Amino acid sequence: MNQYDVIIAGGGPAGSTVATLLAQRSYRVLLLEMNQHPRFHIGESMMPKIGPIMQRLGIDWGDGNLKKSGADFIDEQSGKTLCFPLLGEFKTYQIERSEFDHKLFINAEKYGAETHQQERVQDVDFALERVVVTTDKNNYRCRYFIDATGRSAFMGRKQSVIKRLHEFGRFALYQYLQLATSTSSDSLFATGNVKILLIDIGWIWVIPLAGQKLSLGLVVKDTPSKGLSNQQLFNHYVQASPYLAGLLVGSRSLFDTQAEADFSYLNQHRYGLRYACCGDAGGFLDPIFSSGFFFAVKSAELIADRLHWGFSHGKEADPELHVEDNKVYDIGFQTIYLLVQRFYQSDLIKNLVFEADRHERIKKEITAILAGDLWQPDNRFQQGLLHGRLGKSLKNKF
């Protein structure tokens, strides 16, 4: 039976990150991807605080990608707009995920991880002294198993510990488009800003990509009673948008409208005897604040560093190995959770976001969160989220 130090299920950003960081420390790592790279994935808008992790991975993430200068919130009914500029130490980008995820996967191989594609994990058996992983092609033995299977959430579903978070977006409809050159498109690509268009049933994302491409998506919270098909619903809100009316003139769709459901959930048991879950396998939130990729690579970094410590100290079999890092992760996850919850269930956007220009401190603190700077003890806006009424009630879910 083939033996490894670590076997990782899932070759997306989380899996490739943890594989690279462990392979850099000379562990024998097997990275298993059930599909074949490059494969399509939404979630293109990045946070600046991803930058330090890309540096550790040896990745030039600006290569071939469009620089992102900030996030623009637009209420098309009232005409109000507000930009949160991302002007900190680290640059950030809009990423075409099929190409970038592939780059991360190849990078893990470059640093010494063994990589298999089109191989699916079917079962994992844990014991005090070892782990046995069964795939559709082979059996393997290792010292530690990492679940990076994304929204398949292998361990969470195996243990029936996935908790749906129903108060956010219910599903998303999206397309990629090739834009024509125009004043509107030139302005969009000049800044690279993500646009969040607020509408009555949810919101629309507008993400510019290199090569005059556009990721365009509709996240639906409340379905209208009209009985429209998904395509009709998408077309209705795209065509009703004053901003998109000018931007999409002369554009062409690169594929048919796609749908994804069940955006938000929490894995209530993200670590245990000889295993840990990172990225979407640990939980996923509505993408309004672009946190998915960030949590994928950040959780992978935390797990890789802690597991290295565990191996070095003979503690890798401790079921509580990741307890302290999980507390760190929870602070970030809860912050974004509460921000998304306020977005959907209160007048946060109208009463705070669009008034933030009047309050320099609040705008600065919201911008820090949008940048992924989620562990500042002096961010009073964040502390208000975490320790307010909603924050206290949320602790029961974690």
CA 91 to chain centre: 18
Residue 116, beta-bridge partner list? 32
Q: pTM score, two decimals?
A: 0.94
356-359 long-range contacts (CB < 8 A, ≥24 apart) are 356/82, 356/84, 357/82
Single-letter code of the amino acid located at 286:
D
CA distances from 324 to 64, 265, 271, 303, 368 (A): 37, 22, 11, 11, 23
Q: Is the fold of 2-44+96-164+264-321 the same as that of 171-261?
A: no
Single-letter code of the amino acid located at 106:
I
Its CATH class, for the domain covering 171-261, is alpha beta
Please report, for the chain, the start and end positions of each structural domain, with discontinuous segments joined by +: 2-44+96-164+264-321, 171-261
Give the contacts of 166 (CB within 8 A, at least 6 positions apart).
264
Single-letter code of the amino acid located at 357:
D
- Give the pLDDT of the chain (398 residues) as one tens digit per residue: 679 999 999 999 999 999 999 999 999 999 999 999 999 999 999 999 999 999 999 999 999 999 999 999 998 888 888 888 997 788 999 999 999 999 999 999 999 999 999 999 999 999 999 999 999 999 999 999 999 999 999 999 999 999 999 888 889 999 999 999 999 999 999 999 999 999 989 999 999 999 999 999 999 987 776 788 999 999 999 999 999 999 999 999 999 999 998 679 999 999 999 999 999 999 999 999 999 999 999 999 999 999 999 999 999 999 999 999 999 999 999 999 999 988 887 666 666 666 666 778 888 999 999 999 999 999 999 999 998 755 555 455 55
Pairing state of beta strands 202-209 and 213-220? antiparallel
CA nearest to 369, candidates 334, 327, 325, 320: 334
Its CATH class, for the domain covering 2-44+96-164+264-321, is alpha beta
CA 301 to chain centre: 14
Check if the beta carbon of residue 94 is closer than 8 Å to that of residue 219: no
CA nearest to 100, candidates 40, 147, 149: 40
Residue 204, beta-bridge partner list? 197, 218
